[in-house]
Amino acid sequence: MSDTPQYPIESGCPDGFQYLHPVMKKNYGNWDYHERPRPGVLRHVAKSGDEIWTVRFGTQRQLGPYEINLLCDIADEYADGYVHFTIRSNMEFCVSDEAKVEPMIAAIEEAGYPIGGTGPSVTMISHTQGWLHCDIPGTDASGVVKALMDELHEDFTNERMPNRVHITTSCCQINCGGQGDIAINVQHTKPPKINHDLVANACERPSVVARCPVAAIRPAMVNGKPSLEIDEKKCICCGACFPPCPPMQINDAEYSKLAIWVGGKHSNARSKPMFHKLVAAGVPNNPPRWPEAAAIVKTILEAYRKDALDWERTGDWVERIGWPRFFELTELPFTKFHIDNWKGARNSLNASTHIRF
């Protein structure tokens, strides 16, 4: 055995600079201004006088080899071989020759990809897709995104909203995902069903008890075997107990629903970051097109588009008009389930990147 301690190899992300277009690299930190000549196209002008055009388009997010080769061929032909993915799974091609912009747009559209997602548009929905491989009990977020972006195609290719609209989805209710102008998340509405025959063999019971955020799980003997029980009055149906104990199944064809939230944002621009708030609960999780969720999102977007002032994000808009008016304008029912009466929220509500004293 060697005396030298073995350290893990921390490779991390590769240095992004190597992938930047040369004009971007040359003018890094020295840009003069930028503008949007049309939806989906940005023109950046550097202090040196250099210019670069960026064309943004939406993708289906889960790209196979066919799509990647197709898009890379377009990038090689028109975009000097440089591609860039945004955090919302849009793709961007940069080019320093204005003459290549229109042919590039034509080639991208010919391949079936919409140009847009810039400025006050509904840009690509950010989403997690861990329901395929993650251990948390989730649902098909990618399917919801595809169905919804098909419906919102015109809002992606046009800049006709008061401000940018960032929609998010996440496949479970507790982990990934952030604050969105509109968020569509899974919502389990019944506590887990426990298969007591399997708990003793499959679960480390103290870990499961520790996992519950509201201390609703306790050890119990069931049919002479060590198992667990849930205080269903306390359970908030989060699903966190499923990963350490798969016999505690929470996903359910009937009782796993979707919930829609409105008014969140991460940015500090113009107003401080905001948490989104629940506006529709118990929405059917209805593949393959999720028509009920899509109808609610479109209603909210239409009310926002008509009623918000320029530059108001959805959260700013609702702050100005008030939640009662929001529910009047959208005609969504307001129920007792909208009231957050969980006392643990006292801690989470006091959260923003603004300095407080």
β-bridge mates for residue 43, sequence order? 35, 53
**Positions 164 through 203 that interact with ligand SF4 (CB under 6 A):** 170-172, 175-177, 191-192
Say whether residue 144 binds ligand SF4 (CB under 6 A). no
Phi, psi of 242, deg, nearest 5: -70, -45
Count of residues near ligand SF4 by CB under 6 A: 28
Residue 40 CB contacts under 8 Å (≥ 6 apart), including other chains: 55, 56, 57, 105, 114, 115, 116, 117, 118, 157
**Positions 291 through 350 that interact with ligand SF4 (CB under 6 A):** none
Q: Which stretch binds ligand SF4 (CB under 6 A): 2-10, 48-56, 210-218, 332-340?
A: 210-218
Whole-angstrom distance, CA of residue 169 vs CA of residue 141: 6
CB atoms within 10 A of CB 68: 12
Whole-angstrom distance, CA of residue 64 vs CA of residue 87: 18
Q: Which stretch binds ligand SF4 (CB under 6 A): 69-77, 98-106, 207-215, 344-352?
A: 207-215
Nearer to ligand SF4, 233 or 306 (CB): 233
Whole-angstrom distance, CA of residue 278 vs CA of residue 207: 31
Residue 41 CB contacts under 8 Å (≥ 6 apart), including other chains: 53, 54, 55, 56, 101, 105, 115, 118
Q: Which stretch binds ligand SF4 (CB under 6 A): 9-17, 34-42, 228-236, 282-290?
A: 228-236
Q: Which stretch binds ligand SF4 (CB under 6 A): 11-19, 237-245, 268-276, 297-305?
A: 237-245
Nearer to ligand SF4, 93 or 242 (CB): 242
Which residue number places its CB atom closest to ligand SF4? Answer: 130
Say whether residue 237 binds ligand SF4 (CB under 6 A). yes
Which residue reads 């990647």 in tokens?
A: 68
Q: Which stretch binds ligand SF4 (CB under 6 A): 98-106, 209-217, 319-327, 334-342?
A: 209-217
Say whether residue 136 binds ligand SF4 (CB under 6 A). yes
Whole-angstrom distance, CA of residue 152 vs CA of residue 69: 26
Say which amino acid occupies 307: D
In the Cβ-directed half-sphere of 357, how many Cα atoms lie within 13 Å?
Answer: 0
Among 20, 70, 83, 134, binds ligand SF4 (CB under 6 A): 134
Say whether residue 70 binds ligand SF4 (CB under 6 A). no
Among 130, 243, 246, 282, binds ligand SF4 (CB under 6 A): 130
Say whether residue 214 binds ligand SF4 (CB under 6 A). yes
Say whether residue 235 binds ligand SF4 (CB under 6 A). yes
Select from 277, 84, 58 the least CA-distant residue to 152.
58
CB atoms within 10 A of CB 350: 8
Nearer to ligand SF4, 196 or 298 (CB): 196
Applying CB under 6 A, which residues contact ligand SF4? 128, 130-131, 134, 136, 138, 170-172, 175-177, 191-192, 211-212, 214, 216-217, 230, 235-241, 250
